[in-house]
Structure 1
Amino acid sequence: MASDKPVVIYPPDQEGGRRVRVDGKLLGRAYSVRDVAAFMQEAGLEGWDEMDVIRSGLIEWRGGGPEAWAH
């Protein structure tokens, strides 16, 4: 299933990590909104923080929103 948004956060895995995909490239696993913000900064969105991640329309959250980290 393809997303029309450039960032996809996948459902939490057994360890509570969520895969992060930006522009089709898997960047790694996030364990918090802070981790997602760090990935966004690495992708070129400098200055992004947790609130930017929570409010962003660029992100498709699968398996729960920014508050879901437990499997």
Structure 2
Amino acid sequence: MTWQTPIVVHPPAADGGRRVTLRGQDVGAAHDDRELADLLRSAGLGEADIALDDPHLVEWRGAPHGWPTT
């Protein structure tokens, strides 16, 4: 079994949102760091587990940590 980060932030969609999965389960889409943290808290993570720049916790796919500007 290979090790995977528990949080995956997928590539930006056309509307600028990014789909988020937690341990392989879809938890929604976020458009900024605040929305992302809210999604993760709603999914049961504590503040210590929401370190968005920690590559051991969060994998940013398709684009680095950030959000498209409109």
TM range (shorter): 0.7 to 0.9
Where structure 2 has 5 or more consecutive residues not aligned to the other structure, the ranges are none
After superposition, the C-alpha distances for 1:15-65 in whole angstroms (9 at most, x for unaligned) are 0000000011111110001111111111222336x8x32346311000122
2:11 match: 11
Unaligned stretches of 5+ in structure 1?
Answer: none
Contact 2:12 2:68 in 1 (8 A): yes
1:12–1:63 Cα contact (<8 Å) kept: yes
- Between the two proteins, what is the percent identity of the paired residues? 34
Q: What is the CA-CA distance between 1:3 and the residue it aligns to? A: 7.1
Q: Is 1:70 equivalent to 2:48 in the alignment?
A: no
Question: How many angstroms apart in 1 are the aligned matches of 2:6 and 2:37?
Answer: 14
Q: What is the Cα-based RMSD across aligned positions, in Å?
A: 2.5
Contact 2:5/2:55, CA 8 A, preserved across alignment: no
| Deviant stretches of 4+, over 6 Å | none
